[in-house]
Amino acid sequence: MNRKTLIAKIKMIEMGIVPALNGFELHTQLESLSEPDRRIVKRKFRKVWRKIRKSDPSFSYLMGDKKGVTPTRSQKRNRTAVVVAKIVKDIG
């Protein structure tokens, strides 16, 4: 694990979201949490996602953000990629 990856994971922990950089890590780490903790982590992720979406509305259009409509699996995966990319980009 390189330095940038380690810093990104630490930043994710500080933000209160699961420190996963790929789908496999995300799945295994969410499975290890209790149901109440899993709910909290998911809510914090959505909060981060909404903040990014507000800063760049084009993400909203690209990743299906309509009220009352559940996002597809690929849209959820894309959201995760955008959040991880934003965190890595902010590290420098």
Q: pLDDT digit string (tens) for 6-28?
A: 999 999 999 999 998 888 888 89
Q: What's the distance, CA 79 to chain centroid?
A: 6
d(CA 26, CA 66): 25
Distance CA 45, CA 67 (A): 17
Q: Out of 15-19, 29-33, 60-64, which region has the weakest mean confidence (pLDDT)? A: 60-64
For the chain, domain boundaries: 3-91
Could you tell me the pTM of the whole model?
0.82
Cα–Cα separations (whole angstroms), residue 36 to 30, 31, 42, 43, 88? 11, 12, 10, 11, 28
Residue with the two structure tokens 């109440």: 36
- Whether 73 and 89 have beta carbons less than 8 Å apart is answered as no
